[in-house]
Amino acid sequence: MAEGQLKAGERPIYKLTGHSLVGDKRTTPIRGDLADISLAGKLFAPHYAVPMLRTGIAPVTEIHAEPHLSSMPVSALMHGEEFAVLDVAGEWAWGYCLHDNYLGYLRFADLGDDFDATHIVSAPATLLTAAPTTKSPVLARYPMGAQLECGGLSECGKYLGCENGFVPLVHLSEIGKVEGSPADLAEQLLGTPYSWGGRSGDAIDCSGLVQLVFGLKGVSAPRDADMQQADFGEELAEGEALQRGDLVFFPGHVGIMADGQNIIHANGTAMAVSVEPLADAAARFAEYEVPVLARKRVGL
């Protein structure tokens, strides 16, 4: 907390009171040399920074554990999602995603000014074209989850003007008005390549699939499977039958039930989003004392 009245040119002095409690390192915005200003007086850092809010302008931007391209991806920022920048060094920015507070490094050039997104890609992917016709050159590809600022309908009534181009209306939904259930949306992504840290219609991991399809329905989920197990949905009573849309958690893994017996999940066995019997998926965790850690239901 700042002590006393500041004179011109003076910086506030912060001191810690009580215990310094370190939260989850994936979502607590602090590193050895720097922390978010919100942690001043709570956690010690040599410097505190006021976050600079920026928005993803690339279709998808990988978020890395360290500031270089060979570093492990930990998540992804979709077009139109906000990112709080705490530090910029060279071409890399460090900060966190506003939708889930997940920390990491991304290329600063993939961030831009905020814009008023109106629509979200609710098909597995869509194409931005130079004109509202199937024979027009492709300007960009946007995967499921990308948010776009769109205007009016084209004369043919099949395209919306978006991002200095045109996108097929059938591939878009107004934000907050996506049709179908999370399980319906997950089934649209069958065959999408598995990629650690992915959370889009182009590449996705197990918890990214859950976060994406529930997010399309306006329900925010934490980023990783263990976070979702701890803080997302309600635990099913022992013996209660599973139903479509329920979540099943394994050690380090999560999937969405297609029905009472089959599970949809992004997995490293198929290297894609696939559907298979729950019993088969659970058998791959037989080495663990408890193969199935939790069964949860999320109300919509």
Q: Where does 30-112 sit in CATH, by number?
A: 2.30.30.40
Return the domain boundaries, the chain.
30-112, 119-174, 182-297
pLDDT digit string, tens, across residues 161-174: 998 999 999 999 99
pLDDT of residue 12: 58
Concatenated DSSP letters of the chain:
---SPPPTTPPP-----S------TTTS-EETTEEEGGGTTTS--S-EEPPEEEEE-SSEEEEESSSSTTSPEEEEEETT-EEEEEEEETTEEEEEETTT--EEEEEGGGEE------EEE-SSEEEEESSSSTTSPEEEEEETT-EE-EEEEPTTSSEEEETTEEEEGGGEEETT---S-HHHHHHHTTTPBB-TT-BSSSSB-HHHHHHHHHHHTT----SSHHHHHHHSSEEPPTTPPP-TT-EEEETTEEEEESSSSEEEEEETTTTEEEEEEHHHHHHTTTTSS-S--EEEE---
Q: Is 67 helix (H, G, I), strand (E, B) or coil?
A: coil
Helix, strand, coil % in the chain, rounded to nearest 5: 15, 35, 50
Same fold, 30-112 and 182-297: no
Domain 119-174 has CATH 3.30.450: no
pLDDT digit string, tens, across residues 108-134: 999 999 999 999 999 999 999 999 999
Contact 255, 207 (CB under 8 A): no
Report which of residues 224 and 239 the model is more confident about.
Answer: 224
pLDDT of residue 4: 44
Specify the CATH number for 182-297; select among 3.40.50.300, 3.40.190.10, 3.90.1720.10, 3.40.50.720.
3.90.1720.10
pLDDT at 77 over 90: yes
pLDDT of residue 79: 98
pTM of the shown model: 0.91
Region 127-154: mean pLDDT is 96
- Kindly report the number of other CB atoms within 10 A of residue 250's CB atom: 23
pLDDT digit string, tens, across residues 14-38: 555 544 456 899 999 999 999 999 9
The set of residues, in sequence order, having a beta carbon less than 8 Å from that of 252 and lying 6+ positions away, is: 225, 226
